[in-house]
Structure 1
């Protein structure tokens, strides 16, 4: 590997060990076996390098959403069964030792303090939604329109962000894939029956 790749791998290890706020440029240099000048030359700044490293970690983790390279996701495209299978894989990544999702909460809370990082993540948000639509609907990513990525994909990304928050706060009370799927089933059922939607939350028999 060259210095660029060494820096990226070193930054990923630093992020998992120390997080954004505590990782210094010298930490990355020490971990990667490079030099300070290489950071500016290849990435422009430490924050830009950390942003790229975080996105690389997200991409590595998202590969597991489909259950691995040789796995097949059950259920028809767009079905509740397929939704449950995908979110079961997502929940599994959150419970792994050394999960990077806690790092995600730090990133979200520090967005205003690190505009370079935030800009990278904003651009990546739509692509994350696009990827989720592609997995659950079983279509190629390049066939998912921007509008679908921002709407249906936005719902999936909001669910994932909420899961990250709840798993970070208290894993024991965080919902699993079965609970999420049952909740979605109830939403779909209520949406198809206007009288249920109109009286949601009314305990009157």
Structure 2
């Protein structure tokens, strides 16, 4: 790996071990095994580096969840079975990677102080909405209707955030895949 890749890996390590606010330039440089001046050279700032590492981790998470769902679901599975399979994988991630999910909460708290973080997260949310809607509808992302991306993707993204918080705060009472699917179906019936 080069310095840039080492810095991204070091920043992710620090995010997971120390969190956003406590990850210093020196910590990141030490975790990456490079001089701290490399952060400015490659990324411009600590915040830009942390943001890029954070966004890269979530892109990898999305790919990992998609692959796990595809591998765990029968080819002839119906949409409900696929939806529950998605949630099984997501919940497993909440349980096994709580520090990654805590980093999302902490990154969100940086929005007011660092405009570049807000821009990067907005961009990531747009990509997430589109990817989630395409995956749920079973269509290629480039063929997705923008209205469906906004409506379906936004609701699914909101559900991920809320359910993730429940799993982080109160895992004993947090909903499982079947609860989520049943609750969503009941809500849809109620508002139809």
Moved over 3 A (4+): none
Report if the CA contact (8 A) 2:69-2:85 is conserved. no
Note the residue ranges of structure 2 that are not aligned, 5 or more in a row: none
Report if the CA contact (8 A) 1:73-1:86 is conserved. no
- In the alignment of these two chains, the number of paired residues is 190
Aligned residue for 1:94? 94
Report if the CA contact (8 A) 2:73-2:81 is conserved. no
Aligned residue for 1:4? 4
Aligned residue for 1:203? none
Q: Once the 2 structures are TM-superposed, how far is the Cα of residue 148 of structure 1 from its aligned partner?
A: 2.2
Report if the CA contact (8 A) 1:128-1:157 is conserved. yes
SS of the counterpart of 1:112?
Answer: coil
Q: Once the 2 structures are TM-superposed, how far is the Cα of residue 122 of structure 1 from its aligned partner?
A: 0.8
Greater Rg by CA:
1
Out of 65-74 and 132-141, give the one that drifted further: 65-74
Aligned residue for 1:145? 145
Q: Once the 2 structures are TM-superposed, how far is the Cα of residue 110 of structure 1 from its aligned partner?
A: 2.9
RMSD of aligned C-alpha atoms?
Answer: 1.8
TM-score, structure 1 normalization: 0.85
Distance 1:60 1:67, change over 3 A: same
Out of 123-132 and 92-101, give the one that drifted further: 92-101
Distance 1:159 1:70, change over 3 A: closer
Q: Cα deviation per residue 1:18-56 (whole Å; 9 max; x = unaligned)?
A: 010000111111111111221111111110000000011
Out of 90-99 and 168-177, give the one that drifted further: 90-99
